[in-house]
Amino acid sequence: MTKFPKDFLWGGATAAHQVEGGFDEGGKGLSVSDVYTFDSTLPKEHWTDQWHLMTHQQVAEAQDPHSKKYYPKRHGNDFYHHFKEDIALFAEMGFKCYRTSIAWTRIFPHGDETAPNEAGLKFYDEMFDELLKHGIEPVVSLSHYEMPLYLVTEYGGWPNRKVIDFYLNFAIAVFERYKNKVKYWLTFNEINCVKHHPYVSVGVIEENHPNLEQAKYQGAHHQFVASALATKACHEIIPDSKVGCMISYQLLVPYSCDPDDVQKTVESQRTSLFFSDVQARGYYPAYTKRMFEEKGVELAVEVGDEEILRQYPVDFISFSYYMSSAVSAHPEKLEHAEGNLITGGIKNPYLPSSEWGWQVDPKGLRIALNQLYDRYQKPLFIAENGLGAIDEIQADGSIQDDYRIDYLRQHIEQMQEAIHDGVDLFGYTSWGCIDIVSASTSQMSKRYGYIYVDQDDEGNGTKKRSKKKSFDWYKEVIASNGENL
Ligand code: BGP
């Protein structure tokens, strides 16, 4: 099999709002993710809905300091107090890099302050120092569903152009502070997911919004401008830095060879590639005009915006890959097909599904890598990939997560195929390298880690860390640079 590049960046990924906890320490403010609860009374097929359907009532309740509700993303797995122990475990596996995010609200609690919060800056100084002590390269997302809640309630979120300046104030503060510690930066996590959950992506509460599509894409435009200006600043402050965009990439395939299915698939895939097109190429693609006409969107673009986008495209493309989905132009005519609730597509009858309904498609990763490389001819980085599963503790205390090893092994094999195809892939951080809170459901029981954390969906447990079977498996994958799978 093809070898991975000798300096391939093997590692793992988390995000501040899912891993840290310490929500009320060090001066941190509330982020949009600190509003989510896990409602176990919902039927399982609607657990993911909770991510999409934010209400003004929920936001108001979350701002009540006397609220008795449990907010899982305020607690994570308590990495805030365990980071030295956890990073030592990552080092034991041989991580070359570790992807996480800087919680915007640790640095600017409300988001519109002028001076950064020193206690927040100090925490990440200590965390990055611990990583570098072990030879682990930080890969840092600036915004991973963690914008300040205050910017939502007082400014209306990203549709307000002022948020560009607040974001840049945050970005420049951390570029300056960590210029000798962090080289790899991602501007926005899954910037394309504004399509499905505008609240957590651009700070727009869907409920009763007069023109949701307009708000989504105006917010996205301001993020494109902010991303380009942050890329400019990063290159000026950290000359050898590499800045990437990040999209959630689900390969979409036609449910049949019916030309209508094929056309619908091309249009659907473009709804995500639109975001990397703008950030990687530096301009709005030709199909934007028709797409916006059909959505009733008329962007407010200021003089100079287009020049900013053109001048400061990203250096690389990163993306999350978990699953693929089939697309049908006429789902109502499909007698036996099952809807794929998670992706809004159709279940692919050739593929198995995870316990959360995500369809497992390793060969789809090879196709996705080739599609993205053909499209952009820029280096690629897999920022997320993994299997969320229920892990059972055996009588001897072990966790035999062979199902996770199988999932990861099959995807890494397809990465090798893509490299053999000529794709420039320079890193891989499997998602949730340690058990953390799920983004879409806020559950702890949807586990991804090589490291088990004793904590349940309600936050009960000792938070004790223990190695699963996959811990030693991944350690050997890294030690052999992908040869021993
Ligand atoms: C992506 C997010 C991550 C991560 C991942 C897994 O959308 O970028 O934050 O959570 O999904 O999803 P989940 O945690 O819902 O299983």
Of the residues 246, 321, 341, 440, which should be mutated to test ligand 1's pocket, given the most ligand atoms within 8 Å of the CB?
A: 440
- Give residue 49's pLDDT band: very low, low, confident or very high (50, 70, 90): confident
**Is residue 411 scored above 80 in pLDDT?**
yes
What are 312-346's pLDDT values in tens digits?
999 999 999 999 999 999 988 887 777 776 667 78
For the question of whether the overall pTM of this predicted structure is more than 0.95, the answer is yes
Per-residue model confidence (pLDDT) at position 295: 96
**Chain-wide mean pLDDT for the chain?**
96
Per-residue model confidence (pLDDT) at position 342: 64
* CA 385 to ligand 1 center in whole angstroms: 9
Q: Name the residue at shortest CA distance from atom 1 of ligand 1.
A: 439
Please indicate whether residue 40 or residue 316 has the higher confidence score (pLDDT). 316
Per-residue model confidence (pLDDT) at position 48: 77
* CA 14 to ligand 1 center in whole angstroms: 9
The CA-to-CA distance between both ends of the chain, in Å, stands at 11
CA distance 366 to 174: 35
How many alpha carbons lie under 13 Å from residue 112 in its C-beta half-sphere? 14
* CA 143 to ligand 1 center in whole angstroms: 14
Strands (E), 27-123: 97-101
Which residues have a Cβ under 8 Å from the Cβ of 216 and sit 6 or more positions away?
Answer: 194, 195, 198, 202, 204
Per-residue model confidence (pLDDT) at position 270: 97
Arithmetic mean of pLDDT, 344-353? 87
CA distance 165 to 302: 14
Per-residue model confidence (pLDDT) at position 261: 96
- Alpha helices by DSSP H, listed for 114-258, are 118-133, 149-153, 162-177, 198-202, 212-237
The neighbour count for residue 458, using CB atoms within 10 Å, is 11
Arithmetic mean of pLDDT, 28-46? 90
Joined tokens for residue 306? 């287009």
- Give residue 464's pLDDT band: very low, low, confident or very high (50, 70, 90): very high
Q: Which atom in ligand 1 lies closest to the alpha carbon of residue 440?
A: 15
Per-residue model confidence (pLDDT) at position 341: 65
Q: Name the residue at shortest CA distance from atom 15 of ligand 1.
A: 440
Of the residues 143, 193, 438, which should be mutated to test ligand 1's pocket, given the most ligand atoms within 8 Å of the CB?
A: 438
DSSP-assigned letters across all residues of 68-88: ----GGGTTT-HHHHHHHHHH
Q: Which residues are 428's β-sheet partners?
A: 10, 382
In 3D, which of 331, 410, 304 has the Cα closest to residue 365?
A: 410
- Give residue 478's pLDDT band: very low, low, confident or very high (50, 70, 90): very high
Of the residues 384, 429, 433, 445, which should be mutated to test ligand 1's pocket, given the most ligand atoms within 8 Å of the CB?
A: 384
Identify the active-site residue in 20, 130, 137, 190: 190
* CA 18 to ligand 1 center in whole angstroms: 9
Task: Please give the helix or strand (H or E) that residue 105 lies within, else none.
Answer: helix 104-107
What are 99-157's pLDDT values in tens digits?
999 999 999 999 999 999 999 999 999 999 999 999 999 999 999 999 999 999 999 99
Cα distances (angstroms) measured from residue 284 to each of 47, 280, 289, 368, 433: 35, 10, 9, 22, 35
How many alpha carbons lie under 13 Å from residue 300 in its C-beta half-sphere? 10
